Amino acid sequence: MTADENAKDKAPLDPQAANENQAREGKEHAAYVDERTVLEAQVAELKDKYLRAHAEMENTRRRAEKDVADARNFSIAGFARDMLSVADNLGRALAAVDPAIRDAADNTLKTLLEGVELTNRELAKTLEKHGVRLLDPVGQKFDPNFHQAMFEIPDDSVPAGTVKQVVQPGYAIGERVLRPAMVGVAKAAPKAGPANGGDVDKSV
């Protein structure tokens, strides 16, 4: 490199050219920032759409699983509800036999009763196997979702609203009621009034 070329390289830039370079660099930087901002916004939008789509897919999957589970668990609900009358009749048949009569019965009648009891137990096991459970709420708090109140029983020994008696057992399949239990519910006993007017103010 000659001395003249070396001096030319070291010569200060023209101020106008320097300003133009700065302006160009500034525009390039601003364009870069704008493009980056646009890209970041697009990335954020795409990420939001992905998360929403993923959440929707999860919700759809859960709903599908629940529908399949409900179909599996409740597909026999109609049949099971019809079978409850059979269980009721077997229970009533057994309850109608007085223990004294049963003890005095001959072997034929005893065998018949044992067969009815066995059938009743097998029916209960079969219903339970398919998710049908007996509602026996004695001692539990009355729940209108599972119980139907038939009458009230004055009783201060338990909190008001406690099931004291089951008139007809109820059944449920999963968390769905097939038939509510018909029950008698405890209520607070009425307080005794003043005896012989002893607490009546007679001062006039």
66 burial via Cβ count (<10 Å: 0-12, 13-18, 19+): exposed
Each residue of 124-154: pLDDT tens digit? 999 888 889 898 899 999 999 999 999 999 9
Question: How does DSSP classify residue 59?
Answer: H
CATH superfamily for domain 133-190 = Head domain of nucleotide exchange factor GrpE (2.30.22.10)
Structure tokens at 84: 């409850």
Each residue of 64-83: pLDDT tens digit? 888 777 677 667 788 888 88
Provide CB contacts within 8 A for 18, sequence distance 6+: none
Quote the pTM value. 0.55
Distance, C-alpha 102 to centroid of its chain: 46
How far apart are the C-alpha atoms of 77 and 133, rounded to whole Å? 12
Domain locations in the chain as residue ranges: 17-75, 76-130, 133-190
